[in-house]
């Protein structure tokens, strides 16, 4: 299946983000990440990712409805997954699995040797989901810095 083309996974369809998906993706992220930081500006997240134009932004469609979204990145050393969200009413139906599988496939196709992600302490239970998909918790110290001129919480 060529890059960007819909790819069925059972009843779930994962395809690359299209501009027309923005309202549904923004609404989804607002529901799934309601507490703001660093998810407080979904439109800005979409705008920054679209500016990269790297094709590493997907949505999941179930019964014609957009129920999932996810961003990935690849910098030549590591892949990263960000902002994975599945609508509460569509969970435990394989949507999250299908999205992560597509990210892993696309990153591997670019020669990416390893994928990382960060989970907030408030979201710890999500590690159970990733463990089912073969991911492991790795002991690391995560450091970050807000760059000059950027608002804190804006990434
Ligand atoms: C985490 C999340 C993406 C999972 O999506 P989902 O569509 O419900 O997941 P799936 O149905 O594809 O589940 C895949 C497997 O993980 C398991 N699983 C799903 N959620 C789980 C959880 N919270 N704890 C443990 N296992 C879980 C499922 O049982 C399934 O296992 P199986 O296929 O072996 O039966 C979804 O719950 C979500 O959006 N959570 C809030 C946002 C979030 O935490 N995002 C991640 C930020 S990094």
22 neighbors 46 (Cβ within 8 angstroms): yes
pTM value? 0.91
Percent of the chain topping pLDDT 90: 77
pLDDT of residue 45: 94
| Position 154 pLDDT exceeds 50 | no
Report how far ligand 1's centroid is from the alpha carbon of 94 (Å).
8
Report how far ligand 1's centroid is from the alpha carbon of 129 (Å).
4
Q: Which atom of ligand 1 is nearest to the CA of 98?
A: 12
**Is any ligand 1 atom within 6 A of the Cβ of residue 83?**
no
Contacts of 90 (CB under 8 A, 6+ apart): 62, 65, 67, 68
3-state secondary structure (DSSP) of residue 43: helix
| Position 152 pLDDT exceeds 60 | no
Distance of CA 70 to the CA centre of its chain: 2
User: Would you give the DSSP letter of residue 151?
Assistant: P
Residue nearest to atom 28 of ligand 1 (CA): 92
């Amino acid at each position: 299946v060529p890059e960007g083309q819909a790819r069925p996974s059972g009843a779930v369809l994962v395809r690359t983000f299209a501009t027309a998906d923005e309202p549904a993706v923004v609404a989804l992220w607002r529901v799934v990440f309601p507490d703001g930081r660093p998810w407080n500006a979904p439109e800005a997240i979409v705008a920054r990712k679209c500016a990269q134009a790297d094709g590493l932004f997907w949505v999941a469609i179930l019964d014609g409805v957009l129920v999932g979204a996810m961003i990935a990145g690849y910098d030549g050393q590591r892949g990263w997954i960000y902002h994975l969200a599945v609508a509460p009413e569509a969970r435990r139906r394989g949507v999250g699995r299908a999205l992560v599988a597509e990210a892993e496939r696309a990153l591997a196709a670019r020669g990416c040797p390893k994928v990382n992600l960060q989970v907030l302490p408030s979201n710890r239970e999500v590690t159970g989901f990733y463990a089912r998909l073969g991911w492991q918790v790795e002991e690391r110290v995560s450091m970050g810095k807000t760059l000059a001129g950027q608002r804190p919480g804006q990434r």
